[in-house]
Amino acid sequence: MTDRYAVFGNPIGHSKSPRIHALFAAQTGQDISYEAILVERGSFPAAVDAFMAADTAPARGANVTVPFKEEAFRLATRRTPRAEAAGAVNTLSFDAGAIIGDNTDGAGLVRDLKHNLGCDPAGRRILLLGAGGAARGVILPLLLENPAELVIANRTEETAARLALEFGRLPGCAVSVKPDGIGFAGLAGRAFDLVINATSAGLSGAVLPLPTAVFAPRCVAYEMVYGRATPFMNQARAAGARVADGLGMLVEQAAEAFFVWRGVRPRTASVLAALKTP
C-alpha cells in the first residue's frame, strides 16, 4: 500500500518538495505519495491530526516549513537530539500514535557544502550571519564538523551572544570549538573562509552591513535563500568570494528526511540538476 507524506506550510504553492520526493521515490523504488498542504495560521495541530486520521492510506510522515517549525517542535511527542538543539522541527514521523520530531536542515547544509560544493567545514573559520530559527538549525551540525572557529553575528549583539552561550553549554556535545556571538560591528578586521547567511535579508532584499574584508581569499559565501540573487550574494561576489545559494541545502535536507522515513538514502546530484533545468 502507498504510504502518504506531505509538507505543511504557509505559503506552500512554491514548494519544490513534492517534486523532489517524487524523484527520490522513482529513483529508489519506494511506493509513496507526497503532497503540499496549505495550513492556516493557528490550525497547524488540527491539520496534522487530519492528515494522520485520513484512512485513504497510512500517513507516515511530513515535512514542515515556515511558519510552523516551532509549532511542530511543541507538537512532537518525542524529539531527536538535533531537533532539541535547534528548538525547531522540520521533519515529522508518525509511528503507532507517536509523533517524532527531527530537524534535517543542518545535515542538509553540511552535506551540500561537503559533497556538492567541495567545501569541508573542518578547520575553516566560519561566520554565521543571523541568530534566528534558520541559524539555530545549523549550529550544532557545523560545530560537529570541527571548524577552526564559529562566529555568530547578528544585528543585536546580545541575541548572538546568548545563542553562542547556549550552544557552548550543550550537554553531552563533545565539540572542539565553542561558538562566539558578536554584533556586526565586531566583524571589523576579521576574515572568514566560509560565510553563511541565515538572516531574512535574502527574502527582504536588505543589505547587510558587512566589511568587504570579512570574505577571506577563496572564501565560500553561502546564501540559504535560493532562486534569486540576493544583496548578500552580490556583496560576496564583488569581494571575490565563491557564491552558492540554498537550493542544494533544500535537496540535501529532503534526502535526509527521506532517509529518516524510508531507511534509503537517495542520490541527490541528478535531482539537483533536474531542479536547475528550466
Q: State the binding site.
A: 15-17, 65, 90, 105, 130-134, 224, 226, 246, 253
**Following CA atoms 74, 80, 85, 89 in sequence, which dihedral angle do they give, to the nearest 10 degrees?**
-40
How far CA 71 is from CA of 49, 157, 246, in Å, comes to 13, 26, 23
Residue 69 a catalytic site member: yes
- The candidate with the shortest Cα–Cα distance to 104, out of 152, 72, 147, is 72
Q: Using only the alpha carbons of the chain, give its radius of gyration.
A: 19
- Residues belonging to the binding site for shikimate are 15-17, 65, 90, 105, 226, 253
- Residues belonging to the binding site for NADP(+) are 130-134, 224, 246
Cell of 67: 511558519
The answer to whether the beta carbons of residues 157 and 182 sit under 8 Å apart is yes
Give the residue numbers marked as catalytic.
69
